[in-house]
Every structure is written in structure tokens, then in C-alpha cells.
Structure 1
Amino acid sequence: MNVLVKDSKVSSENHVDISYTVLAGSALIGWYAPSHPYYKEYHLLGGRNPVVVPASAPGKYNRVTLEGLESEETYHIDLYGVMHNEDRVHLGEQSFRTRSAKIGYFISNSTRNSFKLFWGDIDGHYENVIVQIEDRAPEEYPNFRSKVVDSFIPGQTVKFRLRYASSDKWNEYEFKTARGQPTAPGYLGKFEHTINSVLLHWGPGTVDGGPVLYKVRRDELVLEETEDTAFRDLTPEQGRTYVYSVCTVDDQYNESERTTLTLSFDDLTPPTEISNLRTTDLSLQVLWDPAYDSSGRVKYHVYLEGDHKGTTEETAFSFTELESGKRYQICVEAEDASGNKSNQVCASYPPLGIPLKAQAVTV
């Protein structure tokens, strides 16, 4: 039926109040029929399609559902009364905005083959929800409910979707079921242990489905993630003791307990020579920059005119009982924890080129 008929002048006595209840994809429109029963029908415009409603008795409440609406859209509707001569009287208007089609969810009670799915929103939207799990038949439930979803395998990615009954917009989600804890490698051993490398090997661990991965650590540093059961570390430092560990990892990054092995590496390389050896002019204190050794533990031997005067882990040393007007040779060498020694680095006091009489030496 063509509803685009000519309009007539609106009078206040013909005005009606239009009520509405909105959902995500529809709206329920209602009004009371005017007291003058000379309309043959009502036309409701502004939705997706015009709606024609047969005339009702005066005072009767009319209800019309506008379907196929877009979510989160604002609509303006007009209600007309059509008389028998086809004149159309504007009876009222109303604006509303449809609700969001988004549906939140959370998961609880997850096991290796099931989980509990909760859904709903937070703005008081009590519309029924359609739930579909994988390719199973969709089911309709009230909002703010839950459902136990089962019959899966460990580590399976389960796809599910939700939509409101009034909307055709699905909310697509997925969830991966849990796996059991991986088991640790049966042992951790070594081959070809040298001063600066080691070949580690271990017994296989197991995972609850999916590929097996191993994570190799030196102390807490991750060296490698590998599918093999062996790994060669080429970067240990001499004179150090490390705790190596290997754990089994599944495709959800669950780790087993660690299987460990403590290894020490011999130190055959002396520390570097000290640098920037110098003396203070008046305090008779020797200062130098630290030497480097991979073991991280260095001590220093200090010599005066070839005689050993002391050992320190600091980078400074003070002398006493020096004679005024005499030049001294001071030498320092570094030694690591394995007994390897660097070359001596020497300096003169007073420095060469400075006359001895220019130095005020306090003994």
C-alpha cells in the first residue's frame, strides 16, 4: 500500500505520545489511539520500512515492532493517522537510539576438555542471546547466563559466537582449552666440557598434546628454545660457575619443572693489565683503573722497588716509611681467582722529569 498520502493540518487534540523500548536490532513502539475514531489506519514512518497499522478503538494501546534496525543507530519516527478521504494527520514523533550489539563474556572452570562460558553486558540489556559453539546448532538463552561447554580435546582452540536475538550481528570469539603440565626432561648431562664451551644433552620430556619444545637456561638467562635434546653453549666465561637448566614447554607456553646441572669453567687466561697507574702528589697513595677478568674476581699485588708490599681488592694502595728526596718504582699486577697473573704495570714516584727536591714527602 502506498503510504505517501497528502498531509492535513495537525491539531493539538490529535497529538499522541509515542513510547518505545529499544533492543540491539529492533524497537517496540507503542501509543494510545486518539479519542476521535475517524482514522481508518495508522502509518509509522522512519524505521527500515513503512509500517501500516489498522485503526483501533479510541483509547486502545497499539504496539508495533520495528525490525531489521542497525545497532547503535539513531532513528526518528513519525506517526500519522490516515482518514477515509486519504488525508493524513501527523499525530506525533519520537527519536530513539538502538542498543549496542556487543556482548561481553568471560571464562571460568577451564579444564582440559571443557569450560564455563558467561555472557552479558553492563547496561541493563536484558534481551535474549543466541549462542553458537563451533558448528553446533545455535541455542537461545536469557542474558546474563552461563553455559558449560565440553567435549573438546586438550589445547583445542574453540570458536564460539554470540548475538542478541533482535540483531544479526555476531560477536566472534575463541578460547583455547588447557593442557596438563609438561613433564621435565629425565636428566641433564654434558659432553665436550672445555674452558669456554659445553655440549649439553638431556632426556625427553612430555607434553599433553601438541609439539614439544625445550627451553635452555644458564642461570636465569634463556640461551635457546629448541625441539632438539642437545645444545652447545659457546659463550660461558672462564672462571665462572653456572647453573644450567632445561625445562619442557608446550604450545601454550606452560613450563615443566627444571632439570639442572651445575658446571664450573677453568680459568687459564690472566686478567688484563691495570691501566692509568698514578700517584697522588702528597698522600703517597697509588691509584689505578680496575683490570678485567671473566671470573669477576680480581685482586691486586703492589710492589715497591721490587718488594711485595701488600695485596688488595681495591684500586688504591697507600705507602708509608718512604724517604724524602728518593725516587721509587711502584708496580701493580692483577691476579684472578684461579691464580692467573697479569703483567706488572709500573710508575715512578715522583714522576720522571720532576726534580726530587720539588717533592715534599711525608713519611
Structure 2
Amino acid sequence: MIPLVAPALTLSPQEQARYARHLELQGFGMQAQLCLKNARILVVGAGGLGSAIVPYLAAAGVGTLGIVDDDVVDLSNLQRQIMHREADIGLAKTASARRHVLALNPHVEVIEHAIRLTATNALEILSHYDVVLDGADNFATRYLVSDAAALLGMPCVWGSILQFEGQVSVFWRGHGPTYRDVFPEPPEPGEVPSCAQAGVLGVLPGQIGVLMAAEAIKLVTGVGEPLLGRMLVFDALRTQWRDMRVQADPSVPAVTALLPDYPAFCGVATDREAAMPRLSVHALHTAMAEHVSGQVWLVDVRESSEWNLGAIDGARHAPLATLLQAVSLATLPSALLGIEDASQVVLYCQSGQRAAAAAAHLAELGLERVSVLDGNVATWRVLMAQ
């Protein structure tokens, strides 16, 4: 494999002494160490996974480490986030991480990004690095990091942990699958609990995080074979690893721009979404019967795989991810062109969360008379069968 990073010119005598075991390692040696010194690696999340990733990359000799996290250290973190100490409680996690790194290896430059990664800042932040490691604890950030990395053409080392199980893989557009290829759509809200809700074994972030650090080192130095097209799944209770093959999905549209609202895409309701008007299936049936054909627009914002299994008669299809990319009514998907002439627009999905996000976005674009169906295909079919 070709190294991702060109080597630095030299190591100081102190660095040569520090990295002596790397320099003696057959197949690694001086050239790989010089690549590490020149590398710029971004770590998203200074929590459980980050607490394993950051120290090992720093100890290995990565020249520049960027750390993104907008959280502060809490007592409940210390069971697994071993980069932080009790004295750090209340301190920004990026500041705690920086102090830990510099105490471990003063040759490393640490850049703090003590902010939340969003669609407005992700491309700017990631563009200054060679590789990104996604140690985030929520789906919105995972999709955001993967999409931004895909647009920039950079590899994304991804890891995830929950309860007693962990997963790790490398996503790299043009070289293998992306996160969207493996997980084309987020789970329904509440379907997958968070670590705060379901818990996590304290040692698990260490087992997954050190593998993520190893993948980053391999990418930077060109040593070994990265986890491209493969996903490792670890069961800590049975001490079992599964090696799964994953590949790019040609049916998944290529990312051409970041979504304006990743929490909305993942069904995280905002106050505006929660306030969107709701319409029962009975009221929808009445409206469609009373209005002239074409005046009531029914829009299905589910994914194509769901749409193909059945939809409400007369509905137009516009997946949420595609709809959210519109920056004006004129740039909506072709299936929705002319929607501003409708007397009423009703959106639906499976649970209502995605429909609410879509409705809020349409309202922000200036569309009036938008509501969310309080029901789905199944409830509609029950009504029609009566």
C-alpha cells in the first residue's frame, strides 16, 4: 500500500530514542516513522474511543493530532474514558486530552476543536487533515463525518461500541465502501439505545479504539493492509471476533454535498419539527376526497427500499436525504416540482420523525400549508379496508 503521507525529513536524537522500537521493527523502520511525524490526524470524539485512540497515536509519534469535542469531563465518563482524570471534571474534553498528550509526548502538536462538528464547519475542519477517526457516539455525527470525508476523498476510520459489542472498519470513497454503503439509512429514533441508556463495558472502548489507531497508522505509513471492505465485530462476552465483508452499494447515490441538518436526517426532532401540524389518516382521506385532484400533495420521504415495498396510492416519492439537500423550492427533487401550487402538502414516513424533519425543512424554504401524517402505510391500509 502507498503511504498516505510523505515522510518528514528527519528525526531528532530525542525522537530516535523515543521511537527506537519502531525503528527496529522490520517492515516499519525509519521511513514509516518519518511518515507518522508528518501526519495530520483528526479524532472526532474525546470520549471512550478517543481515550484509547489519542494516547496511542500520540505515543506512536503522529506529528499533529486534531481533537473535536464540545463536551466537558463528567464523573460518569471516568469508568471508560481513561484519558481524563477526576481532577479534570468540568474541564473541556479537548483541553483534558491536550494536557494528557503533551505529558505523554511533547513532540506532538495538539489542535483543539472544542466545538460541535456540524454541516457548516465539517469540511473546513477535515480539510486540514490526512485521515479522520470517527469515535462519535451518535448517528448524526457518523453520517456527517463519513459524508465530509467522502467529499474530500480522505479515509475515515470508524468505530462503534455499545454494551458488550464493538465494531471497526475503514471507509474510503473510491477505494472501498463508505458508511452510507453499509448503513444507507439511520435507525428509527429510539430503535438503538445510546451508551447512556444501555451502558457499555468499560474496557470495550480500549479494545476497539486501539484497533482504530492501528488502522490510522497503517494508512499513514502504507504498512500492512487496512480494513477496507471489511468490518470487524467484537463480542466481549464470548471473546469472539467476526470478520465481515462489506462493499460499496451501487444503488446508494454518491454524496455530492453535505446535508444541511444531520440530526433531522437521523430523526432527532427539533422544537420546530415537533410543532409541525399533524393530520390524521381520516382527515387526509377526507381532504383527498373533497379537493380537486392534484391540490393535495402526499409525499413519502422514506428510503427507496421502503417505498418499493408499498406506498399510499397517489403519493410522490422524495427520500428525506435528497429532500434536505434542496436549498430552495426550485431545487427540490423533480418529483416535487410544482409543489408550491398545492393547496395542502402532507408528508409521511414510518414513525413520523423523518416526515417532521422534511416538513420543517419545506417550511423553512417558504412552503405553506405543510403537515405531517399522523400514521403510515399500514394505518392507511387499515382505514381503506374498513
TM-score by length of 2: 0.16
Q: Relative contact order (alpha carbons < 8 A, sep ≥ 6): 1 or 2 greater?
A: 2
Answer 1 or 2: which has greater strand percent.
1
Tell me which structure has the larger Cα radius of gyration.
1
TM-score by length of 1: 0.17
Answer 1 or 2: which has greater helix percent.
2
